[in-house]
Every structure is written in C-alpha cells, then in structure tokens.
C-alpha cells in the first residue's frame, strides 16, 4: 500500500476530522515507522499541492482539505470538493493557482501561453535549437519563477495586479516578456531571469510587441507616464 493510502486509512480509522501536520506524521511513524519527511500532507489536499512533486494521477487521490498552514480537515477520497488548488513555488512567497475542482472533478488552470515566449529558438539560439527543445519547458518554468520571485506579479509597465483586481483567480497570473538585447540576437547566451525577463500584463505585453524588435518595457512605461501626466 502506498504511503498516501496508509495515511488515508489511519485518519479514517481515527474517527477524527481535524489534524495537524505533526499528528499525521506521528500516526504514520507509530503505525509503520514511516520517516516523517515522506509524509506530505499538502499532497493529500484537494486545495493544495506541493511544488512539482504532485504531477500525475495523484491529483485524483485526495482526502484532506488544508485549513491553514499545518492544519488539515479529513474528508476522504471522492469528496465532492469545490474550489481552487494552490501551489507555492519553491522559494516563492506568492501562491499561484494550478487547478480547480468543481463537484469533485479536477481541471488544470491554464498558465499564460507566453510563458514560453522567445525561448523556442525563433529569435535566438539558432545554432542550438534542438538541444534547447528537450528541456525548454523545464528551463522556462524555472526561469519564469526566478523572474517572478524577484520582480513580483505586478505588471512592470502599468503596475496592474491581477490578484487585486480579479481576486482569487488572478493569483499568480502574469505574462513574462523576454527582453532580447540587440547584441544578443542570433547569438547563444546565458539567460538572466532577473535582467532578461520581466512580468507584463497582456495589454502592455501586446504593446511592446507592436514594435519589431519589441520596444523595451522601460520605454513603454515612460510613454505611459507622459501620457497620464
């Protein structure tokens, strides 16, 4: 039996509804001698998931609801849960929404399509396109996260904050624009997620791309400031 099923069985047998993370880990240590680090309550939650660990079918096998940090409510498998699934990317302070449940059916929340912008080799790294494609996605999502951990999730041009305006569904949503320096076009170079990537709302993002090559976000910001004086 997988750890997840062992935990579920122990909690069901206990007859209790609310558990702390420590209680769950202790139950497993007592019953099976399981290393507490192998017991991952966030992964058993309908509304929460660990960074990157919970990638596959486990999403369907949930039995907890996270109440607050380290506090969980046991509801069992096949619960008709309604609500968002949150994830806090490693090292990040901001939670993002990765999916939602409607009457017990899970759906992924789509990330902005421009996540992969300019990293697919269309404007640079011409000599090494194939090599890059293999793990483009992994690299890009890590780079995106580093950019957002540093710059935050507000648009760098107009300061738009999706979470503030749209509430829960806006959490973690923002495009990431890749600033390609003229000198680097058609040359292979090491991407600096803080200097070369910048969070932009879709409107501002579209505006910088009205120019080809794209206008620098600082320039768009200046234009916007002048206009609004």
Query: Is residue 119 involved in binding Zn ion (CB under 5 A)?
Result: no
Residues 171-200: x/- map of binding to Zn ion (CB under 5 A)? Answer: ------x-----------------------
Query: Is residue 64 involved in binding Zn ion (CB under 5 A)?
Result: no
Q: Which of residues 127-146 bind Zn ion (CB under 5 A)?
A: none
Strand 83-87 to strand 105-108: parallel, antiparallel, or no bridges (unpaired)? Answer: unpaired
Q: For residue 159, count other CB atoms closer than 10 A to its CB.
A: 12
Across-strand partners of 102? 105
Q: How far is the CB of 75 from Zn ion (least distance, A)?
A: 40
Query: Is residue 125 involved in binding Zn ion (CB under 5 A)?
Result: no
Q: Are 136 and 116 in contact (CB under 8 A)?
A: yes
Q: How far is the CB of 208 from Zn ion (least distance, A)?
A: 6
Could you say which of 11, 157, 163, 174 contacts Zn ion (CB under 5 A)? 157
Could you say which of 59, 142, 158, 179 contacts Zn ion (CB under 5 A)? 158
Q: How far is the CB of 82 from Zn ion (least distance, A)?
A: 32
Q: Are 34 and 21 in contact (CB under 8 A)?
A: no
Residue 119 CA neighbour count, 13 Å, CB half: 27
Distance CA 174, CA 162 (A): 7
Query: Is residue 156 involved in binding Zn ion (CB under 5 A)?
Result: no
Closest CA relative to residue 117, chosen from 36, 42, 188, 180: 180
Q: How far is the CB of 213 from Zn ion (least distance, A)?
A: 10
Query: Is residue 155 involved in binding Zn ion (CB under 5 A)?
Result: yes
Strand 48-49 to strand 64-68: parallel, antiparallel, or no bridges (unpaired)? Answer: unpaired
- 103 versus 113: smaller Cβ distance to Zn ion: 113
Q: Which residues bind Zn ion (CB under 5 A)?
A: 155, 157-158, 160, 177, 201, 204
């Amino acid at each position: 039996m997988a750890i997840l099923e062992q935990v579920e069985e122990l909690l069901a047998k206990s007859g209790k509804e609310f558990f702390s993370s420590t209680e769950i880990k202790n139950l497993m240590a007592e019953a099976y001698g399981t290393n507490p680090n192998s017991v991952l309550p966030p992964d058993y939650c309908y509304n929460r998931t660990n960074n990157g660990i919970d990638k596959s079918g486990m999403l369907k096998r949930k039995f907890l609801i996270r109440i607050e940090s380290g506090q969980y409510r046991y509801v069992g498998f096949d619960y008709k849960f309604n609500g968002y699934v949150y994830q806090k990317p490693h090292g990040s302070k901001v939670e993002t929404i990765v999916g939602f449940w409607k009457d017990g059916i899970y759906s992924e929340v789509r990330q902005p399509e421009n996540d992969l912008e300019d990293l697919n080799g269309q404007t640079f790294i011409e000599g090494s396109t194939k090599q890059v494609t293999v793990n483009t996605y992994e690299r890009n999502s890590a780079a995106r996260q580093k950019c957002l951990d540093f710059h935050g999730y507000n648009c760098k041009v107009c300061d738009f904050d999706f979470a503030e305006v749209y509430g829960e569904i806006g959490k973690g949503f923002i495009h990431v624009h890749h600033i390609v320096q003229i000198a680097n076009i058609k040359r292979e170079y090491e991407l600096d997620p803080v200097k070369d990537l910048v969070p932009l709302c879709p409107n501002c993002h579209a505006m910088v791309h009205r120019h080809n090559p794209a206008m620098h976000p600082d320039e768009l910001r200046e234009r916007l400031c002048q206009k609004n004086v």
